[in-house]
Structure 1
Amino acid sequence: MPTSSASTTDSARTAAPSGGVQSLERAFDLLERMADAGGEVGLSELSASSGLPLPTIHRLMRTLVACGYVRQQPNRRYALGPRLIRLGESASRLLGTWARPYLARLVEETGETANMALLDGDEVVYVAQVPSKHSMRMFTEVGRRVLPHSTGVGKALLATFPPEEVRALLARTGMPAATDRTITTPEGFLTALEEVRRRGYAIDDNEQEIGVRCLAVPVPDSPTPAAISISGPAGRVTESATDKIVPVLQQVATELSEVLTSSGGTQAS
């Protein structure tokens, strides 16, 4: 059993009483550790990261396998199971429902279409949108999936990732050009992410669609990587408009984060 201070801390956190059922807390903790590890792990890896003894982990994993939330691979390692997909899809829809009042505020204060997107695997998926009231407005279908390198929300999401993980993702997806403004090299994209981190927001400047500009920020401390954005015609989302819109985006992202990370959740008034 690991004796390092990190493992001891994790073990204490996992076993700490919270008024709930300890075995449930441990089971969900193991599922999250599996997700953090890419979805497939061995028992010894889980023991090292959680600080729990192997017999305890084996018992919990056996229960999760029986319920369909984990499956055992032919190589004896454990992978996240298919029953989690339905839970994830339902949670994504609910996340979009929670976000809508905040997106509506963005529309009221900026005049432009507001979006919320998540990073799902290697793709960005839009989970909520509130359209602008302008007759000339941007529209992205909820459920639409795009590659992150050509979008503002994709940049905002990936700016929170280590460069080596970003390079690996780009190697898997490729970097096709949506327009002649799309960034198509890993070096160029990593430089753009440095700029996002420096100024605190991301820009899609005609990179996904000619004539459209998008401003995006990550939702801090979100349980899953999430970002919100506004998008509109380049003639309206100008540099001067950006100076007014970004603080609103950042404020709404912070308020939305508080809802997503609280146990009960409250709606915007």
Structure 2
Amino acid sequence: MAVTIVTGGAQVSSDRAGGVQSLERAFDLLERMADAGGEVGLSELSASSGLPLPTIHRLVRTLVAAGYVRQQPNRRYALGPRLIRLGESASRLLGTWARPYLAELVEATGETANMALLDGDEAVYVAQVPSRHSMRMFTEVGRRVLPHSTGVGKALLALLPPQEVRALLLRTGMPAATERTITDPDRFLAELDRVRELGYAMDDNEQEIGVRCLAVPVPDSPTAAAISISGPAGRVTEAATDKIVPILHTVAHNLSRALAGAGAQA
């Protein structure tokens, strides 16, 4: 319920004039900082948000005092350490929400199902449901991997502009996990074009010999996310891929709708 506040003879709804508007603006600034790579100047925030510099300064000062933003020695501002705990809790919750959908994926394909997020320059696994086969793949929840050699990593990087991918690869390098790992940036960018064209990503013995992984992004996820199945190359054949990819897309869209519903309920 909105409360009406009388200020100087004018009636203003607290939904917009009070704390709610300030919260909206503060969260918007945090997201803009994240989009800018985690560090930004006040003038840049003012230009991108359209808010006056004094308003930006007041909001950022409040976020600094709360530990959600920190001021760097160069007087620019970065996302603060207090956000780490919130992000870790949110990632665990996202993994909990995803598990029933991954279980559906395992039931339909027979292979181990995973969910991963893009966290900085790495892909981090936040949920897994194992296959019932005695020979199955296992990836520990919480494991971090460089994205260039994994199916989920390719699916996640295919969402980014090529220049951002190239910059990420420059920062991380492209070490070879196997002799099949793509280690050339230009070849990898061409591979991402193929991912976008086909609508799915494949790790074909690139992270581990004898293992294939098929992955698709979760559309409209609140943070970049992908789901995948992984199994022995002898089971994840070309014929199996034709059957599995549509199932992956269906589960990804169902998970996307569930996440959107959770946000609406909140």
Secondary structure of the structure 2 residue equivalent to 1:262: helix
Q: Where do residues 44-83 of structure 1 align in structure 2 (5 Å cutoff)?
A: 44-83=43-82
Aligned position for 2:7: none
Q: Deviations over 1:216-247 (max 9, x none)?
A: 00111111111000000111111111111000
Matches of 1:18 and 1:231, distance apart in 2: 51
Matches of 2:222 and 2:76, distance apart in 1: 26
1:219 counterpart letter in structure 2: V
Change (3 A) 1:175 1:261: same
Q: Displacement, 1:77?
A: 1.5
Q: Where do residues 215-226 of structure 1 align in structure 2 (5 Å cutoff)?
A: 215-226=214-225
**Considering only aligned residues, what root-mean-square deviation do their CA atoms show, in Å?**
1.7
In structure 2, stretches of 5+ residues that fail to align are 1-14
Aligned position for 1:182: 181
Aligned position for 2:83: 84
Structure 1 length as normaliser, TM-score?
0.90
Secondary structure of the structure 2 residue equivalent to 1:35: helix
Aligned position for 1:96: 95
Q: Displacement, 1:20?
A: 7.6
Aligned position for 1:246: 245
Q: Where do residues 108-127 of structure 1 align in structure 2 (5 Å cutoff)?
A: 108-127=107-126
Change (3 A) 1:41 1:126: same
Deviates more, 1:54-63 or 1:123-132: 54-63
- Are residues 1:31 and 2:10 paired? no
Aligned position for 2:149: 150
Q: Displacement, 1:137?
A: 0.5
Secondary structure of the structure 1 residue equivalent to 2:256: helix
Matches of 2:60 and 2:257, distance apart in 1: 32
Matches of 2:155 and 2:17, distance apart in 1: 34
Matches of 1:128 and 1:83, distance apart in 2: 23
Matches of 1:24 and 1:128, distance apart in 2: 31
Q: Quick check: 1:116–1:126 contact (8 Å CA) kept in 2?
A: yes
Q: Displacement, 1:71?
A: 1.1
Q: Displacement, 1:180?
A: 1.1
Q: Quick check: 1:259–1:265 contact (8 Å CA) kept in 2?
A: no
Matches of 1:152 and 1:179, distance apart in 2: 14
Q: Displacement, 1:260?
A: 2.3
Secondary structure of the structure 1 residue equivalent to 2:138: coil
Q: Percent identity?
A: 85
Structure 2 length as normaliser, TM-score?
0.91
Q: Displacement, 1:213?
A: 0.6
In structure 1, stretches of 5+ residues that fail to align are 1-15
Q: Displacement, 1:264?
A: 4.2
Matches of 1:31 and 1:189, distance apart in 2: 31
Matches of 1:121 and 1:19, distance apart in 2: 34
Aligned position for 1:9: none
Larger radius of gyration: 2
Deviates more, 1:18-27 or 1:244-253: 18-27
1:166 counterpart letter in structure 2: V
Q: Deviations over 1:171-206 (max 9, x none)?
A: 111111111111110111111111100010001111
Change (3 A) 1:20 1:216: farther
